[in-house]
Structure 1
């Protein structure tokens, strides 16, 4: 059994280390806290820079975010892209990762390497081919096209994580189910899928957050405002209503809430997925 690294340390040393960690956390959370508090300030208080705490406390920035920019419409688009893209990437990645993790056949190593090497391609290098592919397929500037694009964009990451996790699962349960007459998809649904929940939750959270915060391809592949995501809306809010900074900060606060809530809901599964191979 490995003992604690602080077992033989003096209490002042341990207290100092904890103090450093607390200060580091406060520094990392400082900008986020500033954005949240500033979203409740009036424009005059924000522009004057008087005080860190809102005085008076106002919701005018949030009202502007919904009335001037109609932020809820962009949030709905982003939810569609994030949920649809994540679900599509997980489904395809699981169907591809399971046979490549369990079976060896001619070309399986090359397929795995090709899917994995897709992570090494710079996203900027995909801009030109993705633009022409989406346009030729009739998916440019459309909601279904963005869902399909994000599912494809998140597939390599989902595949690598799921294949690594599935390769570490013991195959005895699957072999026993096969002997009992269970088919391939029955084994996948009743055994593999429940055992893979930690990895699926981890990939789902990471993919959802990446799609939710994505700006580059959303700006490249959408033209009309009705198809744009919330990140483009925040950028447009700042340029269109340059003096209304509190409204922009209120929109940014609302946008930050969704990934945080998702992580809080799935945090146990995510932690289990991240630490799955730590004790093997």
Structure 2
């Protein structure tokens, strides 16, 4: 039986949900043999059509917003395109990341339609901050111990795989990233720490409601494997919770 999606916020114009890791948002050429998609699951759960306002990579979990009518979808899409949406992610990376840094490496598009060398480099900006770190007395690579960090990630632009590519280029690949990470660390987390997935989660978002105009702030809890990992590594104090609130109005959020 298909498990119901967690609804973070719902009103007559939009709905925000927790997208599970590994679930594609909708059918695409990247779908392969996938038979289940977030858009269809949400449509069936709500009993009405929904319109995605942005994208979230298949292996990434966390908050995602859908409009409930085309006009709202257009307004939300414009807000994302014009960088009027603040997004917050948590990532578990290899190594002791910097306390705070702004990454501004330009990125070429990765859409598979043309060789990357033919794609123009586009501005890409990501702000990162180390929230915590741990050193495990286990040899995973060539060193006798293994160090990992919990990073807060704030993407200022929305290039494809931007967070994964920026952190890898800076030298702190996300655990579970098969393309940009390192296999032995990915296997260690999968086999010994119960996390066989990309450890990147979209945990927060705030934006101007496209109809009311009030600033809506959303927070999304981590899934079970990431929550257990944070508790095991001593990072429980950084666990987000599900919530929705208006930042500029005292009224309660409709659910």
TM-score by length of 1: 0.29
Please identify which structure carries the higher strand content: 2
Structure of greater Rg: 1
Please identify which structure carries the higher helix content: 1
